[in-house]
Copies of this chain bind each other. A is one copy, B any other.
């Protein structure tokens, strides 16, 4: 083997500190935007019974489950998504919470599919769900959160677009054509793949349902009228000055079988036209998972870390914003330089006082030459170097950016003095 004898499994990622910092930048933005919208965080297990995914969520996920038998003979799965777990949790606990519930989650999901560029077997997902409210104002609230997240990540109008649709539009269309429920389901699958259909397979499939490609394309491109829900969502977003980020696109139906109403995707508006994130209304999932015992309308949204990181890195102003945020987070405020080895004890005492005040402190763990310690301070990207020598308690503080030097006395006021220098 080229590298070490041990490697990560295919499709799994190590996060070295520079990658982990990017991940945490995304997480901070997820949490910050969720907080502004009044959402609280929850989490569910990474391993669940497989039947949770087979029974109700349906769609493409069934074939990509990271599924195995545990030591107790259970058929279990590394979760492919979080909404089914949320449904399970809500059935047992929703009674304890005021409706509507504003809940979010950040955690890993897994899919067993052939690893390729941008297709990992694990990824982090930010899940936001608004539970217990059927009013389309809830759909609009979630779409607004999505737009605010994109703005916080440094994207501007024109970088992305929210493509908005309504599954009920297609249910109504199917009814008007006399299709059965199964046929309506199949129609949704064909519409979902229409945009990516390069070999013209959709036409014959539609004909088998008694429909023509041209009438379906007309239904997408020239809708007779929008549903009240879509009109209501558009007016709501207009009031937030977010209407320009949204366009109606009835070709969007979302892959997962559990969506029942308004659905939307965040699209890369530039060259690649790929879906970055998406969500929609799922008013029957909780009822289905609870065998009809609990009926809670809900609307949810999810975004993965891999695609959004790629989009940030391809978008200069978003990348610049991220880099600025990462640079602002120095791992080291003060590096202690011990000029006289006899004063090592004093350095430890000072380190303890500074750290107790919340200041990030580092220093050489073994005796080293003065210059080498200064080099280590620069490598640690410290803001300040505090030099402790044989004149102690007289010490000197060096501002590393400007090379300016200040003499200080290591008395009760030194922590406060150094804090002031860090705020500059």
A148 at interface by CB-CB < 8 Å: yes
Give A1-42 as 1s and 0s: 1 = Cβ < 8 Å from B's Cβ atoms: 001111111101111110011011000000010011111111
Number of this chain's copies in the complex = 2
Residue in chain B with minimal CB distance to A40: B17
Residue in chain B with minimal CB distance to A86: B14
If A42-B15, A43-B14 touch, does A365 touch B5 (CB 8 Å cutoff)? no
Give A376-410 as 1s and 0s: 1 = Cβ < 8 Å from B's Cβ atoms: 10011000000000000000000000000000000
| Chain B contacts for A112, CB-based, 8 A | 70-71
By the criterion of a CB under 8 Å from any partner CB, how many residues of chain A are at the interface?
A: 99
SS class, residues of chain A in contact with chain B: mixed
Q: Interface-forming stretch among A186-194, A239-247, A264-272, A274-282? A: A239-247
**In the complex the two chains form, is A89's CB within 8 Å of B16's CB?**
yes
If A14-B45, A45-B9 touch, does A70 touch B68 (CB 8 Å cutoff)? yes
A289 at interface by CB-CB < 8 Å: yes
Complex A-B: 22 CB contacts under 8 Å: A3-B92, A4-B92, A8-B44, A9-B45, A9-B48, A9-B49, A10-B72, A15-B44, A20-B42, A32-B358, A36-B358, A36-B361, A37-B360, A38-B332, A47-B110, A68-B71, A100-B365, A102-B331, A135-B366, A138-B365, A240-B348, A242-B352
Which residues of A approach B to under 8 Å, CB–CB?
A: 3-10, 12-17, 20-21, 23-24, 32, 35-49, 51-52, 66-72, 74, 76, 78, 85, 88-89, 91-93, 96, 98, 100, 102-103, 108, 110, 112, 122, 130, 133, 135, 137-138, 141, 144, 148, 236, 239-242, 289-291, 293, 331-332, 344-346, 348-349, 351-352, 355-356, 358-362, 365-366, 376, 379-380
